[in-house]
C-alpha cells in the first residue's frame, strides 16, 4: 500500500506510473519489462531445474544398469536351461 496525496492509501493495482517512480509517459512495454523477474531469479530457477534433471538422470542410469544386469542374468539362466545349441555342436 502506498500513501496517496489525499492521505488515503492506494493499492499496487491502482498506483500510477508517477507513484512507481516512472515518468507519466512510460510506454506499456517498459512497464511490462520492468515487472519481469530479475536475472538472479531466472538463475535460481535454472539451477533448481538442472539439479532436478541431474537427479532424475542418475535414477534412470541406475535403473538401466540394474535392468541390464537382470537381463544378462536371465539370458544366462535361459541358455543353461536349454542346454547346448544343436546348431553350434555340429
pTM of model > 0.75: no
Percent of the chain with pLDDT over 90: 32
Mean pLDDT, the chain, as a whole number?
Answer: 77
Rg of the chain in Å (alpha carbons): 33
Q: The cell 539439479 sits on which residue?
A: 51
Q: The cell 531466472 sits on which residue?
A: 42
Q: Provide the residue ranges of all domains of the chain, joining segments of one domain with +.
A: 37-83
> What is the rounded distance in angstroms from the CA atom of residue 62 to the CA atom of residue 25?
58
> What is the rounded distance in angstroms from the CA atom of residue 49 to the CA atom of residue 30?
29
Question: pLDDT band at residue 28, thresholds of 50, 70 and 90?
Answer: confident
Amino acid at each position: 500500500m502506498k500513501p496517496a496525496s489525499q492521505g488515503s492509501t492506494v493499492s499496487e493495482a491502482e498506483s500510477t506510473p508517477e507513484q512507481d517512480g516512472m515518468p507519466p509517459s512510460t510506454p506499456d512495454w517498459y512497464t511490462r519489462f520492468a515487472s519481469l523477474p530479475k536475472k538472479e531469479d531466472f538463475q535460481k530457477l535454472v539451477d533448481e531445474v538442472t539439479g532436478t534433471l541431474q537427479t532424475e538422470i542418475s535414477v534412470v542410469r541406475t535403473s538401466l544398469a540394474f535392468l541390464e544386469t537382470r537381463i544378462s542374468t536371465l539370458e544366462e539362466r535361459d541358455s543353461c536351461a536349454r542346454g547346448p545349441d544343436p546348431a553350434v555342436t555340429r
